[in-house]
């Protein structure tokens, strides 16, 4: 099974590069985040036309939103309302013979890393706590993917010291994510293939005049598996070229091949 996860930053605005990705890399399952579209306006026909007709979508107007498209029939799907806010930040699918696939879009957290004065950051921390508790009780074999909006290790960012006070790499976030990983003994698949201390990024800011040359990236996108699935991933790559495609997302897709 080939799985790709990608924060697309508005699916309807970027159908061209979604089609380009699917044609070139032929995923069996495509998990998208930040789709920015209500369910009834989701471009279902487009996905059928590119060979991924089976959909699990969870969207809302203007922001957030996740969607999972599959070549294979989806036997079951469900959503969790994290923090009871009604935000479209999670959808899960079950395909016969496969582990459950959870597609997440964790809150970005705003600009100020202080929960006392920034409600968005407080929401992010609460979201992480709920995910950690959920992870600790999770029994079924699972794959967790998505834009988790945290770069947990010093080598997941271009400059550890400069980003210690920047949302996505502050100690309270990185330590919280490592606790979340420990709660289920999640396997960090990307780091299985690109071990620390090698640098590994999946996001580059739009603000950089030449993002590729500057290479000031962060690893905000993740693929984790239950410990029982360790070794089932046989290939991983960050599709960096997609960050340079026409009208790109600021995230690059992450591809993982599994052998079940």
Active centre residues (catalytic): 105, 147
Q: Which residue has the tokens 């459950």?
A: 100
Q: How many CA atoms lie within 13 A of 59 on its CB side?
A: 24
Minimal CA–CA distance to 54: which of 66, 64, 41, 44? 44
Cβ neighbours of 77 (radius 10 Å): 18
Nearest to residue 185, comparing CAs of 235, 222, 143, 136? Answer: 136
Instruction: Verify cis geometry, omega within 30 degrees of 0, for the bond prior to 197.
Output: yes
Q: How many CB atoms lie within 10 A of CB 105?
A: 26
Residue partners of 216: CB distance under 8 A and separation at least 6? 158, 159, 204, 205, 208
**Token pair of 158, please?**
């271009």
């Amino acid at each position: 099974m080939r799985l790709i996860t990608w924060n697309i930053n508005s699916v309807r605005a970027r159908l061209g590069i979604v089609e380009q990705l699917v044609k070139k890399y032929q995923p069996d399952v495509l998990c998208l985040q930040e789709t920015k579209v209500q369910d009834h306006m989701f471009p279902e026909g487009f996905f059928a036309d590119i060979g991924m007709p089976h959909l699990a979508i969870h969207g809302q107007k203007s922001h957030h939103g996740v969607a999972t498209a599959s070549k294979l029939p989806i036997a079951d799907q469900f959503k969790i309302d994290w923090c009871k806010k009604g935000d479209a930040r999670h959808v899960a699918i079950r395909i016969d013979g496969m582990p459950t696939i959870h597609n997440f879009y964790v809150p970005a957290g705003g600009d100020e890393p202080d929960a006392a004065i920034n409600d968005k950051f407080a929401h992010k921390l609460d979201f992480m706590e709920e995910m950690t508790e959920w992870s600790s009780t999770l029994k079924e074999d699972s794959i967790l993917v998505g834009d988790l909006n945290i770069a947990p290790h010093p080598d997941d960012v271009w400059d550890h010291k400069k980003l210690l006070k920047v949302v996505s790499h502050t100690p309270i976030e990185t330590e919280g994510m490592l606790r979340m990983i420990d709660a289920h003994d999640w396997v960090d698949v990307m780091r299985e293939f690109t071990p620390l201390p090698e640098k590994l990024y999946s996001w580059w800011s739009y603000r950089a005049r030449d993002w590729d040359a500057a290479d000031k990236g962060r690893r905000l996108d993740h693929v984790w598996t239950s410990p029982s699935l360790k070794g089932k991933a046989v290939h991983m790559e960050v599709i960096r070229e997609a960050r340079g495609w026409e009208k790109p997302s600021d995230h690059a897709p992450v591809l993982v091949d599994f052998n079940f």
